[in-house]
Amino acid sequence: MDECKHNKAHKATVAVNYLEDSGRFVADIRIECECGRPFQFIGLPLGLDLNGASMAVDGQEARLAIAPVGTIPQPLDKHLLAGFRVRGPGDH
């Protein structure tokens, strides 16, 4: 039986990725307890949002849109993909 309460020490991993197709940046964040159990993000939409926050389908990775200071992205042209979301059963 797991005795860890997951409240002592944690490891956070952040990967900054440049998406060639869009010219945008995303910070992918994962967190796990010192015992090795991964944490799950709560309340973020599933998928990828190049103008906000989302999470992987398993909830274990947050995906945050980021940009270098002073380079505020211009609104994307209507014909460019700005992201996607995955809707589950019952989502409206």
Q: Please answer whether residues 25 and 18 qualify as being in contact, where contact means their C-beta atoms are separated by less than 8 angstroms.
A: yes
What is the pTM (predicted TM-score) of this model?
0.75
Q: Between 74 and 23, where is the model more confident? A: 23
> How deeply is 23 buried, as exposed, middle or buried, from its count of CB atoms within 10 A (0-12, 13-18, 19+)?
exposed
Q: pLDDT, tens digit, for every residue of 34-85?
A: 999 999 999 999 999 998 999 999 999 999 999 998 786 555 445 455 667 7
pLDDT reported for residue 75 = 53
Tell me whether strands 24-33 and 83-86 are parallel, antiparallel or unpaired.
Answer: unpaired
Dist CA 85 CA 11 (whole Å): 27
pLDDT reported for residue 44 = 96
In this predicted structure, the answer to whether residue 23 has a pLDDT above a threshold of 60 is yes
pLDDT reported for residue 70 = 79
